[in-house]
Amino acid sequence: MSEIEATLETAVEAGVTLFDTADIYGQGDSERTLRTLVARHPGRLFVVTKIGFVYSRLAGALRFAKPLLRAALRPKPTTRKAVLQARARAMSQNFSPQYLREAVDRSRRRLGVDRLDALMLHNPPPEVLRSLATQELLSDLVDSKRVSHVGISATSLEEVDAALAIPAVAMLQVSSAVAGALAGTPLIERVRERDVGLFTRELLRKQGHGQNAEAGPAAALAAALDPPFVTAAIVGVSSRAHLSEFLPIVS
């Protein structure tokens, strides 16, 4: 069993049931790994996946060379950083209904399910959210039972506002900074009224005024979960040792 698989198993044993991924994470490998986890724990886990970003053909072809590239770049962090930056530049977004339908079916196959637990559009701009075609697509995905719940991964209050105007939207994912900005606004009242699940991400932020210090993982997670309107917090971990830093709060 690989370290990431062992880390996921440890998370489940600790009581974690929600897992967040996207079709671009590991160029599909993240969903494939979660397929194995879901199969080992039928009925226990809730997987949220996101779609909307697209890799170039070259980046897609390089997926099969990843193990060799990792070995070659491990001792060269500067080179590795350049490769990651180039990969980011190789991505674009596609929110056309045809592409999104195809992306949903690919995610279903990679996760090994007939119906996705939850699907989010991955950081779409406001004009996409206001599009009637987008709204109709999200409703159809639920009505056709290809997806149980749909939502939006948003990067700004404007996007949150546009997302909440879509009747089918049942979930939102925002950064901890956006979640903080939502507190006390009419938007958060709309979240409550519609019973929309709110997930926060990007929890580890610089603390204080100009201080070069970060809140510890457990403290950051506790702070992210404290607002009553937050449903869950998304944390990224790379190993069992990293996961252990959060487990006092998870437990």
Residue 205: per-residue pLDDT? 61
68 exposed, middle or buried (CB, 10 Å; 0-12, 13-18, 19+)? exposed
**HEC-encoded secondary structure of the chain:** CCHHHHHHHHHHHCCCCEEECCCCHHHHHHHHHHHHHHHHCCCCCEEEEEECEEECHHHHHHHHHHHHHHHHHCCCHHHHHHHHHHHHHCEEECCCHHHHHHHHHHHHHHHCCCCEEEEEEECCCHHHHCCHHHHHHHHHHHHCCCEEEEEEECCCHHHHHHHHCCCCEEEEEEEHHHHHHHCCCHHHHHHHHHCCEEEEECCCCECCCCCCCECCHHHHHHHHHCCCCCCEECCCCCCHHHHHCCHHHHC
Sign of the torsion formed by the C-alpha atoms of 218, 224, 229 and 233: negative
| Domain residue spans of the chain | 3-52+94-250
30: amino acid identity, one letter: S
Residue 95: per-residue pLDDT? 98
Q: Which CATH architecture has domain 3-52+94-250?
A: Alpha-Beta Barrel (3.20)
Classify each residue of 158-188 as buried b or exposed e, where b means 16 or more C-beta atoms within 10 Å of its C-beta. ebbbbbbebebbbbbbbbbebbebbeeeebb
Q: Vertex 167, ends 161 and 168: CA angle to 5°?
A: 110
pTM of structure: 0.85
- Spatial neighbors of 15 by CB under 8 A, at least 6 apart, are 250, 251
List the pLDDT tens digit at each of the 251 positions of the chain. Answer: 799 999 999 999 999 999 999 999 999 999 999 999 999 999 999 999 999 999 876 555 555 445 444 555 555 556 545 545 555 567 899 999 999 999 999 999 999 999 999 999 999 999 999 999 999 999 999 999 999 999 999 999 999 999 999 999 999 999 999 999 999 999 999 999 999 999 999 987 644 444 334 568 888 899 999 999 999 999 998 899 999 998 776 65
Residue 207: per-residue pLDDT? 44
